[in-house]
Amino acid sequence: MRRLLCILALGLIHQISIWGQQQAQYTQFMFNKLWMNPGYAASGDEPCLNILSRNQWLGFDGAPVSQAINYHTPLKKQRVGLGISLNHDQLGPTNTWTLSGNYAYRIPTSVGKLSIGVQGSITDFGIKFNELSGLQDGDGIVADEYQRKLLTNFGAGLYFTTKKYFLGVSIPFLLQNDISFNDGSTQSAIYGQQVIHWYIMGGALLRISQKIKAKPAFLAKFAKNAPSDLDLNFSLIFLDRLWTGLSYRFGGSTRDSFGESIDLILQYQLGWSFRLGVAYDYALTELQNHNNGSLEFMLQYCFNKKSEEITNPRFF
């Protein structure tokens, strides 16, 4: 199984005409917006720190493991926002670290706030060839050591928010960098590159009663020559403290599958600054017979300057 996963991972990275989603996915995507959309950096009124950690397909050797740290803060009377993101993603023999810097400018409108953001990033991308076993001796494509390369990129995004809803569209990585390790010593046409990913996100806050709010949200993901992906989430918020949510992720296998996963989310607001969250994914594809689901943790801390009596927790 380990060898099979490694072969599949290399097939996605070193490719001739095979394409797929390359960016890490999070069930609690609504708290990882800065990574996907630099316009989010100017959306809030106070600095916020978000930390996420995800273990996908528990019990599956070589399965994806991801971590994300995002921090953003407003400047100059809320018109400018700055942010920084550090993301780590490991899948089989691949190991990726990405550091991103974000700048956003907020434009007030009659109904809400429009933020225009840009992002610059540097990625350390590596493959542990020394952990692989080639199917054919003397294969010049498979190296015998850990190889890595540094990649620079930039992206842009728009993020619009009101007190009742938000919408965003972004391309965090616009350059299609070469991510192959072919040194030209062979005649193989194997070539891999970063694929442009589009993200469209949105959500709303609905008041059901004085003590209960509803928050539907979605995230659509598009990549060239790959199936479109969509996460739909519906959460209930009790007393502005307890968040319970259910998500459905489209996609998955094209054979005997009703989507990729069903996800449960539970979050709790500690005071007006701390929020803790946990999510569990149950796979709907044939992979459900080979793993114990996916587990994800989230921590958010917002540096509120106002008193707790007049400050509301941040919903967007």
CATH number at residue 84: 2.40.160.40
Predicted pLDDT at 14: 39
Predicted pLDDT at 211: 95
At 316, the pLDDT band (50, 70, 90 cuts) reads confident
pLDDT at 23 over 90: no
pLDDT at 1 over 60: no
pLDDT at 92 over 70: yes
Q: In Å, what is the CA distance from 235 to each residue of 2, 11, 22, 141, 227?
A: 37, 37, 27, 48, 26
How large is the average pLDDT for residues 177-204?
77
On whether the CB atoms of residues 313 and 269 are closer than 8 A, the answer is yes
What does the block give as tokens for 240?
């502005």
Q: Which residue has the higher pLDDT, 282 or 255?
A: 282
Residue 145 backbone phi and psi in degrees, to 5? -150, 170
Predicted pLDDT at 83: 97
pLDDT at 84 over 60: yes
Share of the chain above pLDDT 70, in %: 82
Flag whether 314 is in a domain: no
The rounded distance, in Å, linking the Cα atoms of 49 and 30 is: 13
pLDDT at 13 over 50: no
- For the beta carbon of residue 255, count every other beta carbon within 10 angstroms: 7
- Greatest CA span in the chain, whole angstroms? 70
Q: Which residue has the higher pLDDT, 71 or 8?
A: 71
- For the ranges 53-67, 105-119, 129-143, the lowest mean pLDDT is seen at 129-143
Predicted pLDDT at 309: 45
Predicted pLDDT at 169: 98
Residue 220: name the closest of 194, 249, 245 by CA.
249
Mean pLDDT over the full length of the chain: 85
pLDDT at 15 over 50: no
How large is the average pLDDT for residues 111-128?
94
Predicted pLDDT at 21: 53
Flag whether 309 is in a domain: no
Flag whether 270 is in a domain: yes
Predicted pLDDT at 76: 73
Q: Which residue has the higher pLDDT, 101 or 137?
A: 101
At 104, the pLDDT band (50, 70, 90 cuts) reads very high
Flag whether 92 is in a domain: yes
- For the ranges 47-51, 150-154, 282-286, the lowest mean pLDDT is seen at 282-286
pLDDT at 279 over 60: yes
Flag whether 187 is in a domain: yes
How large is the average pLDDT for residues 188-203?
81
Total domains present in the chain: 1
Predicted pLDDT at 141: 60
Highest mean pLDDT (candidates 137-141, 248-252, 263-267, 300-304): 263-267
On whether the CB atoms of residues 241 and 4 are closer than 8 A, the answer is no
Predicted pLDDT at 182: 67
Domain boundaries, position 232: 2-302
Q: Output the CA torsion 127→130→131→133 (10° steps).
A: 110
How large is the average pLDDT for residues 59-76?
92
Flag whether 308 is in a domain: no
Flag whether 143 is in a domain: yes
R_g (Cα) of the chain, nearest Å: 21
Residue 26: name the closest of 300, 282, 296 by CA.
296
How large is the average pLDDT for residues 241-248?
96
Flag whether 16 is in a domain: yes
Q: What is the pTM of this model?
A: 0.86
pLDDT at 254 over 90: no
The rounded distance, in Å, linking the Cα atoms of 153 and 194 is: 10
pLDDT at 90 over 90: yes
